[in-house]
Amino acid sequence: MGKRMKAIERHNGHTKKFHKVKRLSVYGVTKLIKAKQIATRLQLVCLAVEQEREGKMSLADFISNRGNGVVDEALSLAKEFSVAEAKQEH
């Protein structure tokens, strides 16, 4: 915590607890893509918009704050995982 925040807390006479917002990982998004059977970036963005309407901001945050390569990597990893499972079943 910076000096300014500490000074504000001393002035107000109380301390505030800050909760760290947990960000989605690439693996977390990959699992979501697999579970929802998403194949394209557009489908993922549509899901993010749906979730945003429900107050869930983590997927929209992931898509907008990570680079295109990271989002594309999550999509390709989900596809690889699905193919690997199918091959293992045979």
pLDDT by residue (tens digit) across 61-86? 999 999 999 999 999 999 999 999 88
Largest pairwise CA distance in the chain: 67
Residue 36 to residues 16, 18, 39, 41: CA-CA distances in angstroms? 38, 32, 9, 13
Output the pTM of the full model: 0.73
CA distances from 11 to 17, 18, 32, 78 (A): 16, 18, 45, 50
Higher local confidence (pLDDT), 47 or 20:
47
Q: What angle do CA 70, 44, 41 make, to 5 degrees?
A: 60
pLDDT category at 2 given cuts 50, 70, 90 is low
Mapped onto helix, strand or coil, the DSSP state of residue 82 is: helix
